[in-house]
Amino acid sequence: MHPGIVKVSLKYSLHNNILQIEYKATTTESTPINMINHSYFNLSGLPDLFDHELQIKANEILELNHDLLPTGNFIEANKTNYNRNKLRPINKLPYDDCYVLRENENVKATLRAKSTRIQIDILTDQPGMVVFNPKNINGFCLETQKFSNEPNIPHFPNTILHPNEKYHQKTQYVFSKF
């Protein structure tokens, strides 16, 4: 439960090959706000994701505790299985990780399927992306967001919205063929 009255607007728009999701919010009392889109993508329609490749422009991920909450520590992604700075196959690895996106990149992530040659480029103004593929869903989730557990970790990007402030977040999914 959040303090105060939070008014939220969510706008989905489709222009040619770009799906844009825009979030806005205001509040009557200071409260954490960190809205996400939890869609799953399977660009091939196949019963597995083995023909998918993923690239995430991030040098670090957040360290998670046993409850999957960020500890406040950052793990360097280079030279680990978390390194996704180049397109490479998803494979069978289970994912439930938060990538710290590089600020100086326009396209933050790319997901594509070799069988259909469909590609999604993801653009966002958010600092993080949770990458998630549960065992019981045949899809891949790419949630752009601020870092969870922020109220307990002061050096994380702020999620507290105060009265008279406006929350605004935008993510675009650009679909193309490669």
22 vs 135: which has the higher pLDDT: 22
- What domains, with CATH codes, occur in the chain? 36-157+173-177 (2.70.98.10)
Rounded mean pLDDT, 47-52: 90
Largest alpha-carbon pair distance within the chain? 50
Quick one: pLDDT at residue 1?
A: 67
68 vs 171: which has the higher pLDDT: 171
Q: Confirm if 110 and 161 have CB atoms less than 8 A apart.
A: no
Q: Which amino acid is at 82?
A: Y
Q: Any residues with CB less than 8 A from the CB of 79 and at least 6 apart, and which?
A: none
Q: What is the pLDDT of residues 73-123, one digit of tens each?
A: 999 998 788 899 999 998 766 789 999 999 999 999 999 999 999 999 999
Quick one: pLDDT at residue 9?
A: 97
Quick one: pLDDT at residue 135?
A: 81
CA-based torsion, 172, 94, 137, 34: positive or negative: negative
Quick one: pLDDT at residue 3?
A: 83
Supply the DSSP string of 116-132, one letter for each residue.
Answer: TTEEEEEEESSSEEEEE
Rounded Cα distance, 3 and 9, in Å: 18
pTM of the full structure: 0.92
Rounded mean pLDDT, 119-145: 93
